[in-house]
């Protein structure tokens, strides 16, 4: 059932086009049947025109119901199933921790581990901190990107290893020959997890511009693999860009020094 729902969501745009084309054809048949009914001179001609009129109305109603059903599956059922797959029985394997060190000394020489023996006993070396870049904070030691050809499926934001804690605009490129649509997909960075689409399908190609938006507060904090997938007009995946992202809670807001505090109240 889940696979069927996601399949309908994937081909929804094509179903809309076919349904609209069918409605236009039924409207033409209905108009022709009414014209024939108006000019009919014999009972058999009138009965034939009435039958074609009823058929056109029936099929038009069925096509309208099909459009409504596809819309409900794509915009209600598919997002609900996606949230269930990502929000239940899914626990990120790796939990973010604060990068804190009690001894801010130089990093160890190459070849030494976290601790080394000094003249006065064990020495604790500084913990590596995330790297600040123009696109945001980048976490260290993340898996390599997958795909990401710059001319067809490329992500500038989020970058590989980027830490996200607020709504973030995805920037990059989604553009291939015979382009049909692109979508975002995500999965927890743990063995056995499967990609699930987030948001809907985007039907306009983009070259080095805004592609959509990620809302990290819809997911548990942790490490994820985020993917941009680009499909052609046969709904075949033609290009992708897969990176690692980290979702975390927003950092606490610092209180300015000297800011006034609320005066304590006394009971009268």
Any domain includes 100:
no
132: helix, strand or coil = strand
Any domain includes 254:
no
H helices present in the chain, as ranges:
2-10, 12-39, 43-72, 78-87
Question: What is the model's pTM?
Answer: 0.47
Could you tell me the end-to-end alpha-carbon distance of the chain, in angstroms, rounded to an integer? 65
Does residue 217 share a domain with residue 149? yes
Any domain includes 259:
no
Does residue 136 share a domain with residue 243? yes
Does residue 55 share a domain with residue 143? no
What's the total number of domains in the chain?
A: 2
Does residue 242 share a domain with residue 136? yes
Any domain includes 145:
yes
- Which structural domain range is residue 9 located in? 2-87
142: helix, strand or coil = coil
Does residue 155 share a domain with residue 79? no
Question: pLDDT 10s per residue in the chain (268 long)?
Answer: 677 877 888 888 888 899 999 999 999 999 998 988 888 888 888 888 899 999 999 999 999 999 998 888 888 887 777 666 655 444 444 444 444 444 444 444 444 444 445 555 555 545 555 655 666 788 888 889 999 999 999 999 998 989 888 888 999 999 999 999 999 999 998 888 899 998 889 999 999 999 998 888 778 889 999 999 999 999 999 999 999 999 988 777 666 665 555 555 555 4
8: helix, strand or coil = helix
């Amino acid at each position: 059932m889940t696979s069927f729902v996601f399949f309908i969501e994937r081909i929804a745009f094509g179903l809309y086009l076919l349904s609209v084309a069918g409605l236009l054809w039924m409207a033409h048949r209905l108009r022709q049947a009414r014209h024939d009914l108006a000019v009919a001179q014999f009972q058999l001609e009138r009965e034939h025109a009435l039958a074609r009129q009823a058929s056109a109305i029936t099929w038009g109603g069925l096509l309208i119901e099909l459009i409504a059903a596809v819309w409900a599956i794509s915009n209600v059922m598919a997002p609900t199933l996606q949230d269930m797959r990502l929000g239940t029985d899914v626990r990120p394997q790796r939990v973010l921790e604060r990068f804190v060190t009690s001894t801010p000394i130089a990093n160890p020489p190459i070849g030494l581990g976290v601790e080394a023996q000094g003249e006065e006993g064990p020495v604790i070396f500084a913990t590596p901190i995330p790297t600040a870049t123009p696109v945001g904070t980048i976490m260290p030691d993340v898996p390599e990107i997958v795909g990401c050809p710059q001319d067809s499926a490329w992500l500038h934001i989020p970058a590989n290893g980027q830490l996200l804690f607020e709504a973030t605009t995805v920037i990059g490129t989604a553009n291939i020959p015979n382009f049909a649509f692109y979508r975002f997909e995500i999965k927890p960075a743990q063995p056995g997890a499967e990609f699930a689409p987030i948001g809907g399908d985007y039907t306009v190609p983009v070259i080095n511009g805004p592609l959509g938006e990620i809302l990290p507060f819809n997911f548990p904090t942790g490490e994820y693999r985020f993917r941009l997938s680009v499909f052609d007009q046969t709904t075949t995946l033609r290009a992708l860009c897969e990176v690692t992202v980290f979702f975390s809670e927003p950092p606490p807001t610092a209180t300015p020094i000297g800011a006034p505090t609320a005066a304590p109240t006394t009971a009268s």
